[in-house]
Amino acid sequence: MKGSVTAMPDKLIAVWNALPYMLGGSLVTMGVVAGAMLIGLFGGIPLAVGQVYGKPALKRIIGIYIWFFRGVPLLVLLFLFYFGLFSLLDINLSAFTVAVIVLGLISAAYQSQIFRGSILSLPEGQLKAARALGMSDFKAVHLIVLPQALRLSIPAWSNEYSIVLKDSAVTYALGVAEIMARTHFVATRTYQHLPLYMAAGLIYLVLTYAGTKGLRILESRVRIRGYSHS
C-alpha cells in the first residue's frame, strides 16, 4: 500500500519524461501523412482527369484501381506490400517508406474522387471556350479546368487529410515509430495507459486542428474574387 503511493510520482515522471519521445513521433506521423497526401495529390489528379476525359479502356483501368484501394482494408494492404509484394520483388524498403507509399496509393484513389467531383461540377462551357481558342486538351485541362477544380477541392481535401492522419496510426503495425507506436512502447513499460493514450489522442487532435485550419486559410487565400462559394 505504502509502496504504490510513493511509486505514483515516479510513474508520472516516467510519463513526463516520455513526452519528448512521443512528440518526436508526431514528426514521423507528419512525415507519413505529408508523403501520402502528396502521392495522393499527384496520383489523384491524373486518375481524376483520366476518369472524366479518358477513353473507356482507361476509365475501366482507373475504376479497378480505385475499387481495389478503397475496398481492401488498410492493414491488409500494409502487410501485402511490406511482407508480400516488396519482399517478393526483393525491394528493400523501410517500414516508413512502405507506409508512405501504401497510404499514398490509397489516398490517390480517394482524392481522385474528390477531384473528379470538382471537375464535373465546373460548367463545361469553359472547356469548350478553351478549345475554341486553339488550346490542346492538355492545356485546357491544365490552365482552365484544374486551377478551378483544385480550389473547389480544398474543403474535401481537408477531410481527406484528417482521415489519412488517423489512418497513419495503423502503420505502427509495421513498426513505424510514429505517435501510436511510441505511445504503445512507453505504455507497456510504465503501465500509465490512460494518461499516455490521452496524450496521444490530444496530439492527433492538435494535428487535425492545425491542418484543417491551415487549409481553411489556404482556401480563403486562393478564393476567386467576387465568387460566392455556397
Partner 1 sequence: MESAGFVSISEMEPILRVENVRKRYGKREILKGVSLSIRRGELKVLIGPSGGGKSTFLQCINYLVTPDEGDIWLEGRHIDHTHKRELYRYRQQVGMIFQDFNLFDHLSAVQNIEVSLIHVKRMDRKPARERAMAELERVGLRGHADHYPAQLSGGQKQRVSIARALAMDPKVMLLDEPTSALDPELIGEVLSVIKDLVANGMTMIMATHQIGFSRALADEIVFMEDGRILERGPPLKILSDAKCERTREFCSKITELYGEAD
C-alpha count within 13 angstroms, C-beta hemisphere, residue 121: 13
Closer residue to partner 1 (CB): 18 or 146: 146
Closer residue to partner 1 (CB): 75 or 129: 129
Question: What letter does residue 73 receive in the DSSP assignment?
Answer: -
Segment contacting partner 1 by CB under 8 A, of 83-91, 98-106, 121-129, 207-215: 121-129
Place of cell 484528417: 162
Closer residue to partner 1 (CB): 93 or 150: 150
Q: How far is the CB of 205 from partner 1 (least distance, A)?
A: 34
Q: How far is the CB of 142 from partner 1 (least distance, A)?
A: 9
The helix (run of H) or strand (run of E) holding residue 221 is helix 193-221
CA distance 222 to 147: 10
Instruction: Find the largest Cα–Cα distance for the chain.
Output: 85
Q: How far is the CB of 118 from partner 1 (least distance, A)?
A: 12
Cell of 69: 484501394
Segment contacting partner 1 by CB under 8 A, of 26-34, 153-161, 187-195, 219-227: 219-227
> Do residues 22 and 87 make contact, with C-beta atoms less than 8 angstroms apart?
no
Residue 143 binds partner 1, judged by CB under 8 A: yes
Residue 224 binds partner 1, judged by CB under 8 A: yes
Strand, coil or helix: 224: coil
Q: How far is the CB of 218 from partner 1 (least distance, A)?
A: 15
C-alpha count within 13 angstroms, C-beta hemisphere, residue 10: 8
Binding interface with partner 1 (CB under 8 A): 123, 125-126, 128-136, 139, 143-144, 147-148, 151, 224-228
